[in-house]
Each structure stands twice: as C-alpha cells, then as structure tokens.
Structure 1
Amino acid sequence: MTIPLNDLKGLMPDQLRQIATQMGEPAYRGDQLFEWLQVHQETDLTKMTNLPASFRHALLEAGAGTPALHLVETSASGSGKAVKFLFDLGNDSSGQNQGQVEAVLIVDGDRRTACLSSQVGCALDCKFCATAKMGFLRNLTAGQIVEQVHMLHQEARRRGERLTNIVMMGMGEPLLNYEAVVSALRLARATEGEVSIGGRKMTVSTAGHVPGILRLAEEEDLNVGLAISLNATEDETRSRIMPINRKWPIAQLLAAAAVYFDRKGRRVTFEYVLMDGVTDLDEDADRLAALTTSIPCKINLIPYNELDPDLHRSDLHRSDLHRSDLQGSDQGLQGSDQVFRRPSSARVDRFTRRLKQATQHTVTRRDSRGRDIDAACGQLYRRVKEEQGQQSLSPATA
C-alpha cells in the first residue's frame, strides 16, 4: 500500500521509518520525524533541524507535508467549562477549500477532554443534528484528526493543564471514516510524553453503524470505549429521526453492543437525547430500561440543545415535532426545517427518576457545558457562515 506523503502527521512510526529507508536514510530518521510531528507538534520540515538537510529536501521534493488547521474562531462558555474551536482545513491541491470543522475542549472535574470531528458534515441526516444540515462534504485524514488533538492540547497547556481524554463525538460519523479515526487514536496512544493518551481514555461515538461497531470490537490493540447514540426506544420513531435505523434497527444495534462488551469487557454508553414530546415520555423511560437490561452499560441522558433560532427564522412558524407527528408519513421530517424543543427541567427530572427506578444501570444526565457558545456540533460553523454571508459548501454525494 502506498504511504501518503501528504499526511505525515497521520502516519505511524513504522510507516515513517519505511519512508526514511526508501529515501536512503537510516530507519531511525523516521523515529526522529515522528517525534517532531507528534511530540513537538511541528509541521514545518525546515525546522526539524536534527534531520539531514538532504532528507528534508527529499521529503519536500516528494510533496511531503501535513494538512494544517487554521483557527477561524474560538468561543468559551461563561463558566469556562468548554472552549469551542472552529478550524478551516485550507485548500486542496486544486485550490478548492476543504471546509471547516469544530472541536471542543471540555473541562469536567480533573478531566480535560478533547471532543473531535471525523468528517466535514455528515451523511446520516439525523433530523435533530446541526451537522446533518451541512450534508456530507468529506472525510478528514488521520493527520487532520490528530491536529485537532494538538490544537486542543496547546489550549490546555496554556491553562497549565493537559489533555486526559479523547472522544470522537464531534462532526461526522466516526465509523464511516474508520481507517482515519482508528489511525488517529493509535497515534494519540503511541505518542510519548504529555501528549500521550491511553486507549481506555478514548471513546468512539456512533449513530449506530453496526458493521463498524463489530469491526472495532475486533481491534485487539485498541480497547477504546464505545458510545451509541440511541435516542429512541422503538424503531418507528428512531427510523424517522435517525434514518440509519432503517438499515440497522434497534435489535441489531443492541446485539452489536453486546458483542462489543463481550470482546472488550467495557461497558457501553448509550447516549439518549431528550426531545420534548418525541423521546421524553414515561413509556420511553420504561422501554429504555427494558431494552438495556441484558447489556452492561451506562445511560447518559442529554436534554436537547436547541439550534440557534436566529439560523432558522423561516422555521419559527412551524409547529413542534411531537410523537403524534411521527405516526403517519415523513412529512415534516424531510429536509432540515423541523423544530425540536428541549424538555422542561421538570420533564427531564421526571424521566431521569423514572429510568433510575426501572434500571440497575448507572444513569447520568449531561447538561450542555456550552449552551452559550453554540456547543452542539455544527452550530458554531453555521453561525460563522451566516455572519460571513456565505452559502454552505455544496454537499457531496453521500
């Protein structure tokens, strides 16, 4: 397999050693190159001064390099518990802009978590998700994912802290960019020093890509956590708000989760977004407890983070999408103009209590740490595009 020289930051040490030997250098030059890229986080080959000038010149002549992320904007929550970054990917070799992605540094107790994107946009069209409204543009390279880690590491270091965790919960479906995501996680684990993050401190989140879950379960050297975005307790509702369910319904998804636990010995996390009148009913709590009875898991309840209404002025005349709207056709669910609502605090409390009474599993509630910074995936991207008066990039064919 040809090693991609234009994504050096996405390569493992053995691949860099191979590049070195192919260019007539000792293999250890590849290790030195890896240290520059991953430990020192340097992307400019000319600054890698312990590499021979002839090697650096050969790399540059061969088109070697690593895609840079250009910081467009940062937004910090008032509490300081979350800092969101919007990165521009720059232009490709043809001069076409590759789009923008978001990443978030989350502060929670003694943990400093990097929430990373895997794709520009997303093809899965989950009806409540801001990223879905972008359509799918492209996959990120392993190097672009690693670069997000480095950028957030630098922010943590400015605070006198260090990254402790990685979650693939940003823009995109990680398991639809499988090779790049797995490579990036291996790189974060392989790096020595303060940048290194162990596999048990990493989590991959999926909307329910069953083949990807089963494939990840077989990665013997990568014991990462698995989070599944469940968000509904019966197939009709889930298929309408998460079209991926039409291909891999809830029963298949839960079976894959059970396989993952059997292979890895790690509890699966089920993420469950509470949307007013859609997924927050008493019977949903009862079904959620029943569905997860036999799977060692944690259940994380997430009150819906509403999209910025200023970005959806044309939608405000529409009625809320409630369970009654889901009983017939898909009318109101096609496209991106439906409006979901966050349940009241009382409703969230009631659902949480009922679920805890019905299950032996750990139930947590995640209130957004960044509701004041457009922290739901895709919201900062959309706001900046709106302010710039630009049209979104044309979605590619999924």
Structure 2
Amino acid sequence: MPPIVRGKSFDSASVLAHPAVCAEKPDLKGFLPDELREFLARFGKEKYRTNQLLRWIHGKGVADFDQMTDLGKEFRSQLKAEARVEYLAERHRAVSRDGQTTKLVLGLSDGRKIETVMMVDDGRRTVCVSSQAGCALGCRFCATGQIGFQRNLTAGEILDQIHHGARFFRARGASGEEFEHPVTNVVFMGMGEPLNNYEAVLRAVKLSGLEMGLAVSATRVTISTAGVVPMIYRLASDLPKVGLAISLNATTDEVRNSLMPINRKYPLKTLLDAARHMAGVSLRRRVTFEYALIEGTNDSDEDARRLVELVSGFPCKINLIPFNPVPRQPFRRPGQERIDHFHRILWERNLTVTVRWSKGDDIAAACGQLQASVPS
C-alpha cells in the first residue's frame, strides 16, 4: 500500500504507516516520485518542487534540508518540522590489502549496525548492500546468521548505503577520473535475506534507478536469496530486469537441510522450479547459482555431477566460492587441487562456471563474513 492516498487530500495516517517512517517523521528518501509529489501538496507546493527535492536527495545525496538552498527558507523550515532524510553514520571503515575492497560499518538510528561493501574491479564500481540487520535464516556457514534477526531495513536505509558507495567512488575518482554514474552495479548480498524484506528492497531498487538520482538500471542490480521460493515468483513479475542469484551450496536435500534450514521449507526441487521460472521471464535470461565449496561437505566428484544434473536444461551460471572462514564454525576451504577438479567437471559438461575468489576476505568483507562488528 502506498504511503499516501492518491487524490486531492493528503492522508497523514497513511504516511505514518509507511515503512520509510521512523517513530516521528517520514523519511523522504524512501518516497517514490508520485508519493513525494503528494506529500509536498500538503504545503501547497508546485509540482516542479518535487524534482528539485528529488535532485537534492537522490542526485546529490544531501540529507540536510538547510543545504537545499534553492527551496527557500520557509519551505526548508516546513520540511524540517515535518520530515527527515535518512542518513546512516559511518562507524568504521576497513580497506583490503589490495585496495580494491572497502567495508563500512554504518550505524542505524536505533543503535544497531549494518555493513556495506564497495568493490572496484575491471571498470565496475559495485556496492554490496544489506537488506536486514542480522538474519533469521541461520545458514551454518554464514557469520550474519550467528547474529540472529534484529530487524528489516527501510527503503531509505537500503538506499543510503548506495549513496555512501556513490560518495566513496566520487572521492576515489577525484584525482582525475570522473564518473558520470559513480555506482555501476548494486548487489543485494550483504547482511540479511532480501526476499524476506521484499517491499523495502523493491522500493529501493526503483529509487536507485531514478535518472535524476543514482541512475542504477535494474539490469545492473542482482538480488541474492537463500531460496524464499514464493518471493522469487513475485520478483519475476515485479522486477524481470534484475539478476537473481541463488545461494545453492548443496546438491542433496539432506546436505542442504544441514547447511541451510530454509531448505526444509523450500527443498531443492521447489527452489529449482522457481529458478527455471525466473530464467524464463527474466530479461537477462540467466540465473546465477552461488555454490560455497566446503571441504568434505559438498566438494566431491559426485556433488559436481549432481550439480550438472540439477541445473541442466535452463540458462544459468555457476559461481564456485571457496569457503571463507567464519568464527566458531568447523568448516574449511578445500585445497586448490580439489577446487580446480570440481570446476573442471562442470566446465567439461559445458556449464558456464567461474571460481569466484571473494574480495575483502582479509577485512572480513567477503561472502558470508559480515557481522557488523567494530574493532575495539
């Protein structure tokens, strides 16, 4: 349900029910253009004011109304009294040894923390965003799952992570390289299960694509899921341009049940049916499967052959991810020879397969390592 009832009157009760609203004031960063236009109608403002405000919030990433100098002093005072613009404070920053990965710990307004990762690779400037504080799914190989679920993020909180990335990449290019669009790619592979916070994620993707803002096309967005099957079907309908990445990690229900409790609710066959559906309607025409290789658990020749059988028959890509160490877990990464052999079995059977060595593992920014911890 949109935050504002479309019509001549402004429904404040509707706004206060919106997920972009804190205890007192609505967060304008989470409003879609039509919703912002109706919000401003409360003050009797012309439609062009909507675009002015959108450019400040989404184009320039400004969260302080006093800095929006072309809005007029009285209007800025009204906005300060009635609304806010989400801004997440940076609590900690870590940079990988190779300089290609930077991790931010960001503070939420309620004191909780999340992590956002920026990566530079081969001309791409990617922001990896969190969709929840913590996670309820309890995947055994994932550090975020050890935290447990704290809460969903609002669309504004998700979007502000991308703005942090945009500011970071602009500063990085200040020495001479200029970016028309500082963020080229967004991946929902941070803390939390994106499809368990579906409406906020959907809204954030739409807002990040605004031409007067970050201008990140949906075709440059990838949403990762542990396998929330009903929401995969919704995603295929609502956002057919986004990429879907499925965290697979096993070739039998028995092993996947032990690694990922969600498999007991949505077993492999059900999950793969949803993946085939997404591949059939997606404008990308391909689904990515993430497969964390864990020594003695899912890295045998039999696993490789079963994986070929599971994904045959529809367009997909396999990302093999050598396991990244997680505290208090007994799992280990396979040796290089075993990784290469597993890869070769898939490649010889004509699958599109890549060994993805995670960036930022030296700063606990790699796949499965995010915990929102700040060094003391």
TM-score, normalising length: structure 1: 0.84
Q: Is 2:259 the partner of 1:241?
A: yes
Residue equivalent to 2:357: 367
- For residues 87 and 103 of structure 2, the distance between their equivalents in structure 1, rounded to whole angstroms, comes to 18
TM-aligned CA deviation for residue 30 of structure 1: 1.8
- For residues 58 and 368 of structure 1, the distance between their equivalents in structure 2, rounded to whole angstroms, comes to 47
Deviations 1:329-384 (A, max 9, x none): xxxxxxxxx411111111111111112123x2210110022121111367464652
Q: Is 2:340 the partner of 1:349?
A: yes
Preserved contact between residue 144 and residue 370 of structure 2 (Cα < 8 Å): no
1:259 aligns with one of 267, 270, 277: 277
Preserved contact between residue 54 and residue 212 of structure 2 (Cα < 8 Å): no
Preserved contact between residue 190 and residue 370 of structure 2 (Cα < 8 Å): no
Preserved contact between residue 324 and residue 368 of structure 2 (Cα < 8 Å): no
Q: Is 2:323 the partner of 1:340?
A: no
Q: Is 2:85 the partner of 1:66?
A: yes
TM-aligned CA deviation for residue 6 of structure 1: 2.3
Preserved contact between residue 210 and residue 256 of structure 1 (Cα < 8 Å): yes
Preserved contact between residue 36 and residue 48 of structure 1 (Cα < 8 Å): yes
- For residues 123 and 372 of structure 2, the distance between their equivalents in structure 1, rounded to whole angstroms, comes to 31
Residue equivalent to 2:18: none
- For residues 27 and 235 of structure 1, the distance between their equivalents in structure 2, rounded to whole angstroms, comes to 55
Using a 3 Å threshold, how does the CA distance of structure 1 residues 192 and 300 change in structure 2: closer, same or farther?
same
- Equivalent residue of 1:190, what SS? coil
- For residues 153 and 64 of structure 2, the distance between their equivalents in structure 1, rounded to whole angstroms, comes to 20
Mean alpha-carbon deviation: is it higher for 5-14 or for 253-262?
Answer: 5-14
TM-aligned CA deviation for residue 54 of structure 1: 2.7
Preserved contact between residue 19 and residue 30 of structure 1 (Cα < 8 Å): no
- Equivalent residue of 1:226, what SS? strand
> Which one-letter code corresponds to 1:371 in the other structure?
D
Q: Is 2:218 the partner of 1:199?
A: yes
- For residues 108 and 242 of structure 1, the distance between their equivalents in structure 2, rounded to whole angstroms, comes to 30
Residue equivalent to 1:12: 32
List runs of 5+ in structure 1 lacking aligned partners.
Answer: 92-96, 313-337, 389-398
Residue equivalent to 1:141: 154
- For residues 372 and 333 of structure 2, the distance between their equivalents in structure 1, rounded to whole angstroms, comes to 20
TM-aligned CA deviation for residue 12 of structure 1: 1.3
- For residues 246 and 170 of structure 1, the distance between their equivalents in structure 2, rounded to whole angstroms, comes to 23
TM-score, normalising length: structure 2: 0.89
> Which one-letter code corresponds to 1:283 in the other structure?
E
- Equivalent residue of 1:280, what SS? coil
Mean alpha-carbon deviation: is it higher for 344-353 or for 165-174?
Answer: 344-353
Preserved contact between residue 86 and residue 381 of structure 1 (Cα < 8 Å): no
Residue equivalent to 2:107: 88
Fraction of identical pairs, as percent = 47
Preserved contact between residue 71 and residue 85 of structure 1 (Cα < 8 Å): yes
> Which one-letter code corresponds to 1:16 in the other structure?
L
> Which one-letter code corresponds to 1:364 in the other structure?
T
Residue equivalent to 1:152: 165
Residue equivalent to 2:9: none
- Equivalent residue of 2:314, what SS? coil
Q: Is 2:296 the partner of 1:277?
A: yes
Preserved contact between residue 105 and residue 373 of structure 2 (Cα < 8 Å): no
TM-aligned CA deviation for residue 58 of structure 1: 2.1
Preserved contact between residue 106 and residue 112 of structure 1 (Cα < 8 Å): yes
Q: Is 2:184 the partner of 1:175?
A: no
- Equivalent residue of 1:149, what SS? helix
> Which one-letter code corresponds to 1:115 in the other structure?
C
RMSD (Å), alpha carbons: 1.6
Residue equivalent to 1:333: none
List runs of 5+ in structure 2 lacking aligned partners.
Answer: 4-13, 16-20, 174-178
Superposition map of 1:310-321 within 5 A? 312=328
> Which one-letter code corresponds to 1:197 in the other structure?
V
Preserved contact between residue 103 and residue 114 of structure 1 (Cα < 8 Å): yes
- For residues 361 and 67 of structure 2, the distance between their equivalents in structure 1, rounded to whole angstroms, comes to 40
- For residues 238 and 144 of structure 1, the distance between their equivalents in structure 2, rounded to whole angstroms, comes to 32
TM-aligned CA deviation for residue 249 of structure 1: 0.5
Residue equivalent to 1:329: none
1:54 aligns with one of 61, 70, 74: 74
Mean alpha-carbon deviation: is it higher for 161-170 or for 120-129?
Answer: 161-170
Preserved contact between residue 141 and residue 368 of structure 2 (Cα < 8 Å): no
Using a 3 Å threshold, how does the CA distance of structure 1 residues 135 and 342 change in structure 2: closer, same or farther?
same
Preserved contact between residue 131 and residue 377 of structure 1 (Cα < 8 Å): no
